[in-house]
Amino acid sequence: MNISILGCGWLGLPLASKLVEDGHTIKGSTTSQEKIETLRKKGITPYLINLQPELEGDSEIFSDFFDSDLLFLNVPPGRRRKNVIEFHTRQVECIIEQLQESPITSVIFASSTSVYPKKGGVMVENDAKAGQATRDSGEALIKAEQMLQNQVHFDTTIIRFGGLYGYDRNPANYLAGKKDVSGGNAPVNLIHQDDCINILSAIIENDIRGEVFNAVSDGHPPKNQYYKIIAEQAGVEPPSFLPDTGKNYKVISNRKLKKALDYQFVYPNPLDVVSAISE
């Protein structure tokens, strides 16, 4: 299959490498000229593409990049951008314009569990509603999801990833040394890079279209337990947490994904990585 990956970063690049190994022809985009050679050495045809929010560059380059069977769209909204909803909406509009003129019939969109509301309980895929997301970046993603799913020229499958970790991305660094952190009893909703890659590969290989999946590990240890353990393992100062009697916390369900893909997680619990290192 000819597959284009828009966004060969922390997630897109290892996915591209895996798909090359599986025999697919991969086109990958980057915003960095320095990364062009890195992609080429991995057997990926590289493209320098920027969305600011318009596509910047040669229209012929865009036409060539989108000349594929499938697109993995991995362009997250910037959480710190003031106009994140408007900016990300225009980014997705520009991509849709290219897709409408391309032979691509299948899109996989990397979304996030930030689309879910702040209320507690177990969150399933139908619980995401416009106007109720945790933050503006989540609202931007809900709007992007809807825009993509409403298209008739291609099918879109949405993957809502939990917090991403693994290899050079260690969650211990996020809260290291912080004092009086709130929500200590809140469960974490995370997923390891290896599981992300395996799930995306399975969706591609099984040609799953038009679905929405939560991609989060089985285990949800509380923050005050998880961050203390991983900080000690990483050799950094653990955070301290405020007393917490809260119970109205959010757990993201992965049941639909596991059933549809018959998927078993490499790291069912985020603490499994710590156990593997300790052993």
> Residue 250: which H helix or E strand, with range?
strand 250-252
Task: Enumerate domains of the chain plus CATH numbers.
Answer: 2-165+191-216+252-266 (3.40.50.720)
**Residue 18 contacts residue 201 (beta carbons within 8 Å):** yes
Q: What are phi and psi of 253, to 5 degrees?
A: -85, 135
Q: Give how far Cα 156 sits from Cα of 127, 179, 217, Å.
A: 19, 42, 23
Is the per-residue pLDDT at 278 higher than 60?
Answer: no
Write 30-37 long-range contacts (CB < 8 A, 24+). Answer: 35/8
The answer for residues whose C-beta is within 8 angstroms of residue 213's C-beta and 6 or more apart is 125, 157, 158, 159, 160, 199, 203, 256, 257, 260
The confidence score (pLDDT) of residue 279 equals 39
Is the per-residue pLDDT at 198 higher than 70?
Answer: yes
For the stretch 71-123, pLDDT in tens is 999 999 987 788 999 999 999 999 999 999 999 999 999 999 999 998 899 99
DSSP string covering 22-33? TT-EEEEEES-G
Mean pLDDT of all residues in the chain? 94
For the stretch 109-165, pLDDT in tens is 999 999 999 889 999 999 999 999 989 999 999 999 999 999 999 999 999 999 999
For the stretch 21-68, pLDDT in tens is 999 999 999 999 999 999 999 999 999 999 999 998 788 999 999 999
Over range 232-256, report the average pLDDT: 93
Tokens, residue 122: 């177990």
The confidence score (pLDDT) of residue 59 equals 85
**Residue 134 contacts residue 146 (beta carbons within 8 Å):** no
C-alpha span between 161 and 114 (Å, rounded):
9
Its sign, for the CA torsion 54, 10, 103, 200, is negative
**Residue 140 contacts residue 77 (beta carbons within 8 Å):** yes
The confidence score (pLDDT) of residue 78 equals 80
Q: Give how far Cα 74 sits from Cα of 12, 184, 272, Å.
A: 7, 31, 27
